[in-house]
Amino acid sequence: MKKVFLLFTSLMIAFLSISCSSVPKKAAADESLVIGIVSMYFPEKVSYQGDFDTAVKGAVKNNIEVSVEDVKTKKVYTTKTNSDGFYVFKNLDSTSSYKITKVSFQKSGSYGTVERWITFSRSDPFFPLYNSVLNLGELKCVWYESGIDTQFLGNVMVKNYFTKEAADSEWLTKPLINQYQ
């Protein structure tokens, strides 16, 4: 029983250290922070109907899973967005480069859960830096009947959101680097 408890506790700590979308309070010089915002948008005239009870309309921001891959090791890291679409990756290795490879969400209905995702096979690599905050900007994915349009909306909204969320965090004193201008 003790081994099971220790294993469960260790797994929860590891999960929380990678997958939380909140800004940590403490910032060590040998840590990095990568931030961004992502949203899925379904125009009112083009709702996605997975089945009768899982239709999606409007914006989906909460609980979107964002996956990045270490370009060298191919290891995948994931995190989830908060209710505003804000996500955080903590402690990615600054000696590696990463690419966003997938964003996905689930929508539950009375007939089950529908998962929708977008994969990015040609995304630009990014390089987290120790003792810095890397702002990947805002990504909006719009689902039309004819396909998905991905739009980069810049870094300003993410910076403003981060400033508010990190008000009592040491990360606010670290350099903020915009990945894309």
Amino acid symbol at 163: T
52 pLDDT more than 60: no
Using alpha carbons only, give the angle 140, 145, 151 rounded to the nearest 5 degrees.
Answer: 20
Q: pTM for the complete prediction?
A: 0.81
Average pLDDT score, the chain: 82
Residue pLDDT, tens place only, 106-152: 876 666 677 888 999 888 999 999 999 999 999 999 887 788 889 89
Asked which of 31-45, 58-72, 110-124 is least confident by mean pLDDT, the reply is: 110-124
15 pLDDT more than 80: no
17 pLDDT more than 50: no
159 pLDDT more than 70: yes
Q: Within 10 A of 174 (CB to CB), how many other CB atoms are there? A: 19
CA–CA gap between residue 101 and residue 78 (Å, rounded): 10
Task: Name the percent of the chain lying above pLDDT 90.
Answer: 52
18 pLDDT more than 60: no
From the list 62, 143, 148, the residue with the least C-alpha distance to 106 is 62
What are the strands, taking DSSP E only, across the chain? 33-42, 48-49, 55-56, 58-60, 65-70, 76-80, 86-90, 98-109, 112-119, 133-144, 147-152, 176-178
* pLDDT-based confidence at residue 21 (cuts at 50, 70, 90): low
From the list 84, 96, 108, 107, the residue with the least C-alpha distance to 35 is 84
What is the structure's pLDDT at 54?
A: 59
37 pLDDT more than 70: yes
Mean pLDDT over residues 35-63, rounded?
Answer: 74
34 strand-pairing partners = 89, 134
DSSP designation for 93: -
CA–CA gap between residue 140 and residue 57 (Å, rounded): 15
Asked if residues 32 and 129 have their Cβ atoms less than 8 Å apart, the reply is yes
**φ/ψ (deg, to 5) at 97:** -115, 155
**Is the alpha carbon torsion for 146, 147, 153, 157 positive or negative?**
positive
* pLDDT-based confidence at residue 45 (cuts at 50, 70, 90): low
Asked which of 47-61, 89-103, 139-153, 158-172 is least confident by mean pLDDT, the reply is: 47-61
Asked which of 70-74, 88-92, 108-112, 123-127 is least confident by mean pLDDT, the reply is: 108-112
